[in-house]
Structure 1
Amino acid sequence: MAVVVVLSVVEVVAVVVVVVVVVVVVVVVVVVAVRVSIVVVVVVVVVVVVVVVVEIVSIIISITVIVILLSQTYIKK
């Protein structure tokens, strides 16, 4: 049970960190985009989207694992 709680906390922290990083990257891109070509902006946007999608998938997986573990512990009782 403790492991599950730790995992979920770590996951939440990871999500917050990723969101902050994405926001910072977007702001930097918008500032730089004024001076740099559109190609760079497109590449960065694609990278950000991929990172966000991967993060969402990992959240779904971890939530699924937590639910399974919790249900197993309740079934054992």
Structure 2
Amino acid sequence: MVVVIVMVMIMMVIVVVMVVVIVSLLIVVMMVMVMVVLVMVVLVEMVLVMVVEVMMVNMMVVVRL
């Protein structure tokens, strides 16, 4: 019986460790995804700002002409 109890304890510990590792990996993956999304959004906003500035300059030139 003691051997069975020890085996069960070891199995439980292994399962808990697996779950913790999987959850930590998921959290890391989520963080990386969030960072990538933030970087993409910042890049898109920068590109949009550049385009808007170019269009504004073009409009000013057209208005002056």
TM-score in terms of structure 1 length: 0.53
Q: Which residue of 1 aligns with 2:54?
A: none
Question: How many residues get paired?
Answer: 43
1:67 aligns with 2:43: no
Structure richer in helix, relative to its length: 2
Structure with bigger gyration radius: 2
**2: CA distance, partners of 1:58 / 1:71:** 20
Output the amino acid matched with 1:74: E
Output the amino acid matched with 1:63: V
1:4-46, CA deviations, whole angstroms, 9 ceiling, x for partnerless residues?
xxxxxxxxxxxxxxxxxxxxxxxxxxxxxxxx61000000000
Q: Which residue of 1 aligns with 2:9?
A: 38
Moved over 2 A (4+): none
The equivalent position to 1:76 in structure 2, one of 47, 50, 61, is 47
The equivalent position to 2:21 in structure 1, one of 47, 50, 53, is 50
